[in-house]
Amino acid sequence: MSQFEHAMSWLGLAGRTCVVTGGAGGIGSETARQMAAAGAKVAVVDRTEALGADVVNDIQRAGGTAIAIGCDVSDVASVTLAARTVIRALGPARVLVNNAGIGGGGRTALLDASVDEWNRLLSINLTGAFLCAQAFGAQMRDAGTGGAMVHVASIGGDIAIPNGISYSASKAGVLMLSRQLCLELAPFGIRSNCVSPGLVRTPMSEAYYRDEGRLQARNKAVPRGRIATSKDMAEAILFLSSDRSDYVNGEDLLIDGGLSQVVMANIPRI
């Protein structure tokens, strides 16, 4: 058995239908590629089919199986149509990666935040995860073969971020959504877990890292000594999607290089 074949066998994802929302973004595209490399049939779901086309082309050129699907995760009809497309083209989902989301963008303080900003972030980050969990969870239940859901939350879902009320609240909601899904879907053999990234350099966060001084300051702030990459996140997502985490359910894996542990190091000492 080759090293590649061993990796496919070890993860147990070969032949399984895996749905990755936000599949054209940094974390999503890396996750889709790694799942395809492990032998999965991947549905790359993003706002438009064209956005996922490059990822699908990369996967197909490497010999993998993938399709691109356009979907507005905040819209019930759009999610329903995407779910029908997946089951028709690839078979019922066995894995759902709820990765679609948006950042705070022009974040504002709590007292200045608009209802429009609040509703926009919650509709995509939280309602989108809920709708996809419903649609693809039903496929897993009806197929009777179990499944796994991995939801991309954030360190901001557990630790307050300055001027990040809408974003942090949406990600905190994702954490509780996952726990609720764990409770309700476990009788069907469906697991639900979260990954919570810390500082990750992706196309969505690239603006924070264009300044070399800021980049180095952020690298230094992380005990691991560097900002995370999409690959760091994707590898954890694959683990939670695979048979190797079969007894892990309702958990949140914080992937921050130790960033959340430095608070006491910043306390002045006598």
Catalytic residues: 167
Cα–Cα–Cα angle for 237, 243, 248, nearest 5°?
70
User: In angstroms, how far is CA 113 from the centroid of its own chain?
Assistant: 26
Two tokens, residue 105: 């963008």
| Euclidean distance between CA atoms 193 and 152, whole angstroms | 9
| Euclidean distance between CA atoms 56 and 5, whole angstroms | 21
Residues in the chain: 270
- Dihedral sign, CA of 137, 143, 147, 150? negative
Tabulate helix, strand, coil % of the chain (nearest 5).
55, 15, 30
